[in-house]
Structures are given as C-alpha cells and as structure tokens.
Chain A
Amino acid sequence: MAKEKKGVRLEHISKIYQDPKTKKEFYAVHDTTLDIEPGTFVTLLGPSGCGKTTTLRMIAGFESPDEGEIYLGNEAINALTPNKRDTAMVFQSYALLPHYNVFDNVAYGLKIRKLPKEEIKKKVMDILELVELKGMESRMTNQLSGGQQQRVALARALVLEPGVLLFDEPLSNLDAKLRVTMRTEIRKIQQKVGITAVYVTHDQSEAMSISDKIIIMSKGKVEQIGTPREIYYHPKSRFVADFIGEANFLEARVEAVKGEKAAITVSGQPLEVNNFAGAKPGDTASLVIRPEAAGLSEDGLLDCKVTLSTFMGSYQYYQAKVGDVTVQITDYNPVNKKIYEVGENVKLNFDPNGVYIL
C-alpha cells in the first residue's frame, strides 16, 4: 500500500536542552547514529528521559537537531517542517481533531493534498476497513472508546501512505488488556502494509512483542541495537541486562583461561564457565543470570542460603544469598518439586553455557 518504503538514517544526531531550573545545558540525545531499514518495525526503548521521544520528534520535524543530519530514504530532511516531511505520527494522546468526525479526521491530510473527492472517499473507507472501524465514519471522536480512537489515529496516519510511520507511546493511555490486543493489531497491520515504523515505548514487553529490532537508549545514548532475542540473551551492558527483564549479577574473578573455557571464582567459590573468550586471568566480570534460568538443588554450582521462599502460583519465588549477594530465583511449575525453606543451605544451579559476562 505504501508508495515506497523508506528507511530512516540518523547520523551523529545530538539535541541539547536546557534544564529549566538550573539553566544548565545537557544532551537530551548525544551523537546518535541509527540506520532503520525500509519496511522494518523498530522500537526505541528506554526509561523516561532517555531521549527516545526527542529522537522521534526530530524525525517528525517538531524538534531540530543541534548536530547531525537525518535522512528519510536518501533525502536529507533536517530543514523540512513537519508538514513537508513524508512521515506520519500516531500521538500518545491520539490528538484526534475533536471538532471533526471519524471520516473527516482520516480525510484531513488527504484534503490538504488536494486529492479528488471520490478518491479521498475510497481511500478513507478502505483504511477504515483495515482498522476495523467500518460504519463508524460519522461518529464524533468523543463517542469512541479508547481503543477505537487509537485505531482512528492509526488510520489517519496510514491513509497518507507515509514513507515512515512514527508512534509516540501510542498505547500508554489504554488499559492493560487492550494494550496487548492493540499491539498485536498494530504489528499485524504494519506487516500487512509493509510500512517502515519507528515506535517509542518504555514498556519492554510491548517492545519485545512488536519489534523487528529494538534500540535501547539511556541518557541520550544508544546502549544497544538488536533483535528482541539478542537484547534479552546477549545484553551488552549492565544497564540493558537490568532494564530488559530481571537479572541477577554475580561478581566474578577470572583465574585461568583456556580457549572458550575459563576458571573463575564467585564469592570465593570456584566455577568453570564456557563462553569466556577474550578474558585474561585477573579480569573481573559480572555473571548475568536470569531468575528463570536459575534453580536450587542439592547438587549445583554455587553454595547459597535461602532467605525468602514464597509461593506465587505459577512459580516458587526464592531469594538466596551467594556470599553477600542476594540472587532471585523463579522456579516455574513448582507443583511436584521440592520446596526449600528459609535458612536451608543449598546449591544454586544454572547452565554454565547460558551465563554471560559483562
């Protein structure tokens, strides 16, 4: 449906803001370079204040970068105003025009492009069918539910067949259940239409479920770019590991290295791990263990002492101490498993191939 899928390229983009209180300038976005391929769904993910929305608004043209150049397709668009850019945005608050009905909201951009009336009508009706709002075209926007308003906002952006579709936390005003439904739907429609989409969110499960690629941002900088799997299983920094999912960090010292294998000590306990290529004896590292990848048993890798044991329904939740470090463990489907009680000395178990270091 899109005339032409366009990629988005950010080259060394920086944006400086001034703190309204201290009057100090700081980088909201710092030296960010991104290459978003045509037709992919890319999510900018990060805690609030990480610069993700600023990045999106620079792509849309509402903010101008202080350094660097933004390309849409092959066109440098830095100097273009938002109304001249081949982008369409779905706003957090939907930003539907409250004095227009559904049809006129969706037709607004087409009318500006001076399309013939018949064509406008056909396009609007087609797109309303796509977002399953057929028959609602004469409703006023305040007569719609949150989810329906969301669809109008999406339709209004899609109908312009933009080179790239921008989403600014579009689901944050919906309730939890609807959020899940809508994100699947947005993904479906995006794949059907084959449009390039840049999506901003702070919700990691949303980002995981919807994206081809996730860009994790923190303090104005890109921390890591990768598929959801890569980000989850191979975080490049402690920040990413901590931000995506739950993670336990165990400090380790490298004693000897032999190819991929390494002998390390964790809280004074020796351990052998596999994927330690490149480490040198004497290095310190963090082992990252996801709670669901760890377990307790009589024989295991590290000694630990149970400090908390709680039945959560689908899993038994433990906290256990390895040396001074508290480790969280979620043991799923605990129905026939042995439950360890507080104060028991047991072993922490995990796949030594599955841990990774930072």
Chain B
Amino acid sequence: MAKSQNARLERKKFYSDPILVGMIVVLLIFLLLFILYPLLMLLVDSFYTEGRVTLDVFKRVLSLQRFRKAFTNTLVLGVITGLASTLIGLLFAYVEVYVKVRTKVLKRLFSVVSMLPVVSPPFVLSLSMIMLFGRSGIITRSLLKIYDSNVYGLGGIAIVQTMTFFPVCYLMLKGLLKNIDPSLEEATRDMGASRWKVFVSVTLPLLLPGLGNAFLVTFIESVADFANPMLIGGSYDTLATTIYLQVTGAYDSTGAAAMSVVLLSLTLILFLIQKYYLERKTAATLTGKASRARMPIEDKSVTVPLTIICGLAAAFVILMYIMVPFGALFTLWGRDYSLSLKWFQYMFKTSGLKAFKDSFVLSLIAAPLTALLSMVISYLVVKRKFKTKGFIEFVSMLAMAVPGTVLGIGYIRGYANGLFRTGVMGGLYGTGLILIIVFIVRSLPTGTRSGISALRQIDASIEESAYDMGANSARVFFTVTLPLIKDSFFSGLVTAFVRSITAISAIILLVTPQYLLITCQINEQAEKGNYGVACAYATVLIIITYGMVLIMNGLIKLFGTSRKIKEED
C-alpha cells in the first residue's frame, strides 16, 4: 500500500507552520548541544586518546583500588537506600490510604514530611545528622555522653538518603494504592481471607511492579547523589564523590570522564529498566479507577501501632530539619547552646549577600525558561506528530538518568575549550549562562513529565477545534494549551526554581569564583567544620525556597486553577 502521498502531505502541512518548525529546530539544537554532546564527549574522552581508539583510560581507572571500592560502595548504598526508602514509603502510603487515622495532626505531618525534601537543599539532613549524632552532637555528646560517636560512613549516608528520598516513594505508592479498586480486597475478605492475607495475596502483588519502580527511582537518586556522601561520607567514597575528587584533587579529567561513563551506564541501565519495563507493568496492573471510596481499617490493633510508628518517623524527620536554624543560632554547637546571631552576621559580612544574589538571580532566570521549555516539549510530544518527536521525548527524559556529577564533567570536557576543542563557543565556559543552562537541563525532565501527564488529560479535540477555527500552532499553544495546563506550568516554575537554587552536583564542578552560590558556600563551610555558618546559609536558603513556594501557590490561587478537561471515554 502506498503511503507516500500521506507522508508528502503531512510534510507539506508541517512545513507550512514555520513557528512550529522553528520551535522544533531550537529544541533539537538545545538538546543536542547541552545533553547529548557533553555525554558524547565523555565517551570520546574515555575511548579515544592520542588519535586512536583504546581502552587504556578504562584500564587505568579500573586498576585504581579507590575506584573499584567506590563502585561497590555505590551499589551497596543504592540497594540499602532503595530498600529502606521503598519500605518506609510503603508504610506511610498504606497508613494514609488504608488506615483510619484519628488525628488530623498525622495527616499534616505527612504532608509536611513529603514537602520538606522538595524545598530544602539536598544536604541539609547531612548537616543536622552531624549536629545531632556527630562527635559533638546534641544527642550523642550532650544527652548520651558518647564522646567518640561516628556518623560518618555508610550508615550515616544511608539514613540521610533514606530520609531524603522516601517521600518520593511515599507519593508514588500513594497514587498507586488509591488506584486499587477496593472491591478486589472486599471480595477476598468476603471469601474468608484475613487482613494480612488480603495484603499479602492481593494488595502486594498488585503493587509489586510499583514497588520495583519506587525502588529503582530511589536507587538512581542514591547513586547520583553527590552532596550527602560528600558531607557525611567520611572515608566512604561513592562514584559521584570519587569523580569529583578525581577532577578537583587529582586534576585528571580524562580519568574522571571514564569514571563518569561507568556511573552513567549504571544509572542509564536502571533508568531504562524502570521506564520501559516497570513503569509499563505498573500501568498495566493498576489501570482501573477505584469504583468507590475505601472503608478504612478501624481495627485498633492495626491502627494504633501503625499510627505510632509513622508519627515517630515523621517527627524524627521534622526534628532533623528543625536542627538547621538552631545550628545557626547556637553560639557554639556541642559546647555553648546560648542563642546568638553571630553566624548570620559572619555570613553577611563575608560573601553571604553576593551568594544569595547570584543564586537567586540565576535561578530566577532559569526557572521560567525551564517551565516554558518543558511545556513546549510536552505539547509537541503529546499533541503533534512529527519525525523527531520520539527523539525529543527520549532525550529530555534521559536527562533524568544523568547524575549531576556526570553532566558537570561532560560540560567541562565539552565546553572548556569550546565545541570539540575548537574554541567555538569557548566563551560559554565559566559564565553565568552555562550555569543557567545546567539549571535548565537538570530540571527539564521533572517539568516535562508533569506537563505530559497534564496534557494527556486534555481532550485532543479542544486543541483541534482551535486549530480548525484558524489558529496556527503557536496561537493554539498560547491561547489554549498553556492556559489549560496553567497549574502544571506554575508548579513546574516553582520546582525549577527550587531545584536550581538548591542544586550542587553539576554546578560545583562548573562554578567560577566570579559567581558565588549558596549551595557551594554551605558545602565549603561544612567541609571546614564551620557548621554554624553552613547552617546559617541553609536556613536562609530554606526560607527563600519556602517563601517562593508560598508566593507561587498564592499566584496560582489568584489566577484560578485551570479546570481539567477529562477525556471522554
């Protein structure tokens, strides 16, 4: 059958819309230059030296005892964090969806706990972990009188990462649990199964792909995490920190490139399993909408212990965050717990103001660009047909699997001497612009994902009708699509801003003395042991991000939420 005419006509129609074509070209260039090219340079660096293809660099890196150790360390940490986060996430989700919780307090606690990791910089928990349980920790030294406590190492990182990442699992699993049709469980109960039997034979099997999914997502996060192992890892090096030290300590950027390829392959494989296998399976087992509300479990022997466990866990997480402002306010942690503002004063007297300004301005520029870009990508992916669509979707999602450290090394190798070391675009390296680009690339996947799921909710014929009435693609996007996914756009805006201002892994490799960034300052101060100053920075940072979230939520309320148009089926 000849389909050539269709293809020819579609092409003609496509090119008669120059704005659409322009948008796609710009996007392609952006994705190629700032995601694919840097990763490609890593491959080139690790396989190609002195004009020939070789495995020498790999051999050298693999022979490093340090590297091999870091590799196993990373896997061990990933598995522990992944398992722990998934279990705690499941517990929280189960309690929220299935168990009748008497107090509203617990519900609020849950929402605060799931919100905190979003608005806080990634390594805040490491700081408070050190301050609570470290050598001069409040609990270890002042309360329990343990003077040689050691939080540094695998245990410390695993605890901190679990606390940082389990809310992600909690939110994912909560969504899935809500989609389980209660009548399935009621039917098995009716046939005589006990609650435990129902959980094991119905709920758990239905949830299994979802649990695997949650595990892999946290595994990837853990493997890619740089800041926590950096602060609290002590001598327990992971791939991310080893790569960082290879560049900053050993000045061996080709070696770092080869290590990055290893780390990238690891996250990429996990990502591909997660995205193309587990995510589909999850969707296949849990498609049905719950037909009616679930009768919550009221049995006291179930509710009481679960409520207590979750309440304690949530309280512990919150305590960790509360430590941060106190860390900044106490005169000398571990010795003198009188309140003073001296750390704040010190911070503002040194580089504080400049750091806040730089971080704030760069993030403020990056956020709207990210939000807009991710909405454009979502629109193209969901609503339009064109050749490079699959490529655009894949690359913008791929960025999710690229650890910040890897991206940072890629940018160093790719842009320090210009494109392909020719000096073209060499001016970009070391500027604020490249930092903004990194911010955008790092936040793009989350924004795109939320945009895509929002757009899939909108009946295709709404945009078709606008198109039919004479609007071109750009007009359809701005007068119909964007207003309908306003919520997703605004939340993308907040997320991009927060992610940017709290970013560290890629940025720390690329930032030049010209720019001071809050996160880098916190890292620097904490490394020096100036926890007071680090906490002061972190406190202000949390206030800024939380303030932005509040402002944005206010704006969303002001502009009214977009009515979701559910697809008719």
Contact = CB atoms under 8 A, between A and B. Distances in A.
Real complex partners, A and B? yes
A241 interface: no
A66 interface: yes
Contacts of A65: 5-6, 9
7 contacts: A64-B5, A82-B464, A95-B465, A97-B479, A109-B470, A153-B465, A160-B469
B483 A79 contact: no
B13 A61 contact: yes
A83 interface: yes
A87 B484 contact: no
B251 to A, nearest CB: 54
Nearest to B10: A64
A64 B461 contact: no
A23 interface: no
Nearest to B562: A99
Interface in B103-155: none
B9 A79 contact: yes
Contacts of B299: none
Interface string B454-469: 0000010110111111
Contacts of B17: 81
B465 to A, nearest CB: 4
Which of A27, A83, A84, A108 has the most chain B CB atoms closer than 10 A to its own CB?
Answer: A83
A89 interface: yes
Contact of A98 (B3, B469, B565, B568): B565
A252 B16 CA distance: 59
Contacts of A84: 16, 470
B3 A16 contact: yes
Interface residues of A, number: 38
Interface string B1-21: 111111001101100110000
B461 A95 contact: yes
Given A25-B1, A66-B1, A173-B568, A80 B13 contact: yes
Contacts of B562: 98-99
Contacts of A93: 459, 461-462, 568
B69 interface: no
Contacts of B6: 15-16, 64-66
Nearest to B4: A66
Interface of B: 1-6, 9-10, 12-13, 16-17, 459, 461-462, 464-472, 475, 479-480, 483-484, 562-563, 565, 568
A159 to B, nearest CB: 9
B22 to A, nearest CB: 16
Contact of B467 (A27, A64, A82): A82
A61 B461 CA distance: 13
A65 B467 CA distance: 19
Given A60-B468, A79-B9, A84-B16, A97 B1 contact: no
Which of B2, B4, B464, B562 has the most chain A CB atoms closer than 10 A to its own CB?
Answer: B464
B484 A108 contact: no
A154 to B, nearest CB: 12
B19 to A, nearest CB: 12
A88 B563 contact: no
B568 to A, nearest CB: 5
B468 A82 contact: yes
Contacts of B469: 83, 88, 108-109, 112, 156, 160
B483 A89 contact: no
A93 B460 CA distance: 10
A166 B469 CA distance: 12
Contacts of B16: 79-81, 84
Contacts of B568: 92-93, 173
A112 B470 contact: yes
B465 A89 contact: yes
Contacts of A80: 13, 16
B243 to A, nearest CB: 43
B484 A91 contact: no
A308 to B, nearest CB: 38
A191 B284 CA distance: 50
Contact of A83 (B5, B461, B470, B565): B470
Contact of B484 (A60, A99, A112, A113): A99
A97 B470 contact: no
A97 B466 contact: yes
Contacts of B464: 62, 82, 89, 91, 95
Contacts of A83: 467-472
Interface string A57-83: 000111011110000000000111111
